[in-house]
Structures are given as C-alpha cells and as structure tokens.
Amino acid sequence: MASWRSPQQVSDEGDVLYVFPKDYRAKLAAKSFRLKIEPWFDKAKGVAEYLVRVSFGTALIASIVLVYTTIIAIISSRSEEDNRGRRGGRSYGSGFTLYFTPTDLFWYWDPYYYKRRRIQADGDRMNFIESVFSFVFGDGDPNQGIEEERWKLIGQYIASNGGVVAAEELAPYLDIQKKQDMSDESYILPVLLRFDGQPEIDEEGNILYRFPSLQRTASSQLSGRKEYVGRRWADWVGGVEKFFKEKKWQFSKTSTSERAMVIGLGGLNLFGVIILGTMLKDYSVIPSGFIKFVVDIFPLLQVYAGSFFAIPLIRWFLVQKRNADIEERNRARLQFAQALELPDISLRRKLLSARDMAQRTVIGPDRIVYSTDKDLFNQDYEAQEWERRFREIERSD
C-alpha cells in the first residue's frame, strides 16, 4: 500500500490534483499482469511447498534407517571377515538381509495436511511429521489474508464517520514510514482508489476526503458526531478497531516435548552420519549391494543432516528480523491512533470540519424498487416511477 507515491497540487479554485510519474501506465500494466498470474503462482507454490515439506519430514526417518542399518551392516561385515580369517578361510553367509522398500514410508504422507492444519484447533497436538514441518520450515505467514481485513476496517471506519475523513484518521490502518512527512498525504491514495474517494478543501484550506459510495445506508441513525473527537474518540471509533495490528511470526507451534523429540531424532541422524562417514573412510574397496547404494547417496545424507539444523537456524534470525519490523509498524500505527486521542488544535479543527462535512445518503422504503422478500409481480417499477415523477410535478407547480 505504500508503493503509490504522487505529489499533490492545489489549484486557485480549490481543486486537488495528483501528479503521476510518466511511466505510471507501464507500472499499472505490470501490476495488472502480476495480479493475473498471482493465483496460479500461489497454487504452484503451495503444491511445491507441500511436496518439499513432506519429503523433508519423511526423509528424516528414511535417513536414520539407512544410516544405522549401514553402520550395522559394516560392523557385521567386518566381524565376519575377522571370523573367516581366524577359521582358516571358511565361508559363511553373512546372515544379514535387509528388506526395505519406499512403500514402507508412505504411511507418513498426509495429502490433507494443509486442509487439516487450517481447521485444527490451537490446543490439538501435532503428529510427528507435522512437528518436523513446523520445526524446520515453520507454520507459514500468520498474516495471510490480513490485507482484506485491513480494507474491511478502513471501510467500516469511513462509513461510520459519514464518508468524510481526514488523512490522519486513516494513518492507524496504513503502512507509513516513521520518517515520512505527514504533510505529504499521498499515502492515502490507495484508499481513494479502493473506495472511489475524492479530496475536498474545507473553508480553512484543509484537505479532507469524501467517499460517496460509503455514505449510503438504510439507517437514518447518524454516526461520527462532532463530540466524538479527541479522547472520546478512543471510547467510540464506531465499533472499529483503533488501529490495524499485524500478528508476529512464531518460530514453531510445536510444544516443548514435540520440539525435543524432533531435535533428538535430528541429532541422532547427524551423529549417525558423522560415524558412518568415519567408517566409510576405512573402506578401500566398497562392497556391492546395499552398502554401495548408501555410499553413492551419502553426500545427500550429509547435506540433509546439516540442513536439518541449518534451515531452522537461518529461519530463526529471519523471524527475529520480521518480528522487529512488524513491531515497528504496529508501534507507528499505535502512535497515530494515540495522536487522535489527544489531537493538537489544528488537527482537532480538521477533524471537526470532517464531521461537519459528513453526510449519509439514507435509502428509505420509498426508494426501494425491488425486494427479494416480495413477489416480482407485486413490484411494479414503472407505476412507482410514474407516481414519483407525478409528485415532483405537483410540487413544482
């Protein structure tokens, strides 16, 4: 919302002009194309993310099984070689057979993971694979879909104040940099575009913003009265939240015991990879079969064991940075809201002027031409329109 920037100009007749850069059409076209492909991109991203997370969680069990089975196989092989040497070269079967198929891990896969996570209650416990997902990759953006909530709050606030507001009143709901000059009200441009608003100049030269589409109501009850300016604003605000608050990111929603189990198994896997790497260095000739297969994929096992802890470590720093930014934005919005509770003289006069200019277009029963609770044949629009015009003619006479 802070990407739109354009200087404001006021003519000698009081018209407010917004000066757009020369390349604004190209920027709008690029944004339009991005909005078209975003749904497809989000779907592809969700599928890819699901596959990566499921594979990563399942691979922990597979890695532990492969690593420690190989360690046991190597120890058994060395023991048999020693026995053959002591017994004069007698040959015995290894006595060790491994039956392992990828289908043994299929029970860990959960194609309905994301659907269940959305409806899962906060107090429910995660299963093991979900705990691995949460520890390594986190639980996603807690503010997903919050933009629609932001627009809803802004629309409710404007409507509750009669459709006319000052820019400072919307600051608690927008993303405004601390160092930004508040006299430059271009930060309100996205709101004007969203709700079809228009700037107006009051008698004192203040710029106020009118939103005709938010002035229509079926109720004649007035809101946004003049007495609700300043401290009393904090007790009212038309039933709308005083400021828009983003949620902070969590490193993981796993419990302490679940996290300990995941870390323990990850550490067990890392320890096994280190031991196996040391044992494989002593092999001059790698035997064929299962051990040869593990040796071929051993670099992947090493990368996995290391990334199992590297990814959460990097993510922890990113979460701290994101939360610091969110805290700064929330604090700035709170300060803007507090400024409305104790406005200075100029801001108070500006808010009072906005309340004076506020008006609501009440749509009464006489203007209703169609209602779903009545039969269509009983609603004669043409007769009502003729009668309305006839009354206007009578009044003009």
Residue 353, pLDDT > 70, answer yes
- For residue 81, the model assigns a pLDDT of 61
HSE (side-chain half, CA atoms, 13 Å) at 26: 3
User: Rounded to the nearest 5°, which phi and psi values hold at 165?
Assistant: -140, 165
SS3 assignment for 152-189: HHHHHHHHHCCCEECHHHHHHHCCCCCCCCCCCHHHHH
- The answer to whether the beta carbons of residues 336 and 243 sit under 8 Å apart is yes
Residue 345, pLDDT > 60, answer yes
> Quick one: average pLDDT of 28-49?
74
Q: What is the spatial distance between Cα 200 and Cα 16, in angstroms, rounded to a whole number? A: 7
> Quick one: average pLDDT of 130-150?
88
- The answer to whether the beta carbons of residues 137 and 329 sit under 8 Å apart is no
Instruction: Give the bridge partners for 18, in sequence order.
Output: 8
Q: What is the spatial distance between Cα 129 and Cα 113, in angstroms, rounded to a whole number? A: 10
E-strand ranges in the chain read 8-10, 16-18, 164-165, 198-201, 207-210, 216-217, 361-362
The DSSP output letter for 374 is S
The segment with the largest mean pLDDT, out of 50-54, 184-188, 212-216, is 184-188
- For residue 301, the model assigns a pLDDT of 94
The DSSP output letter for 106 is G
- For residue 57, the model assigns a pLDDT of 83
Amino acid at site 182? M
User: Rounded to the nearest 5°, which phi and psi values hold at 284?
Assistant: -85, -35
Residues constituting the chain: 397
Residue 262, pLDDT > 80, answer yes
Confidence of residue 94 (pLDDT cuts 50, 70, 90): very low
CA angle 357, 361, 363 (to 5 degrees): 170
Q: Which two tokens stand for residue 301?
A: 């096992």
End-to-end CA separation in angstroms for the chain: 53
3-class DSSP state for residue 38?
Answer: helix
DSSP string, 218-243: S-----S-TT-STHHHHH-GGGS-SS
Mean of the per-residue pLDDT values for the chain? 76
The fraction of the chain above a pLDDT of 90, given in percent, is 29
Q: Which residue has the tokens 């990334």?
A: 307
Q: What is the spatial distance between Cα 117 and Cα 134, in angstroms, rounded to a whole number? A: 11
Q: Which two tokens stand for residue 176?
A: 């405004």
- For residue 6, the model assigns a pLDDT of 55
Q: Which two tokens stand for residue 221?
A: 């009850």
Closest of 103, 107, 155, 100 to residue 129, by C-alpha: 107
Instruction: Give the bridge partners for 165, in sequence order.
Output: 209
- The answer to whether the beta carbons of residues 96 and 75 sit under 8 Å apart is no
- For residue 184, the model assigns a pLDDT of 79
Domain boundaries, the chain: 1-363, 370-396
pLDDT tens-digit series, residues 192-201 = 999 989 999 8
Amino acid at site 99? Y
The segment with the largest mean pLDDT, out of 11-20, 159-168, 364-373, is 159-168
Residues 6+ apart with CB under 8 A from 101: none
- For residue 382, the model assigns a pLDDT of 55
Q: What is the spatial distance between Cα 262 and Cα 390, in angstroms, rounded to a whole number? A: 80
Confidence of residue 82 (pLDDT cuts 50, 70, 90): low
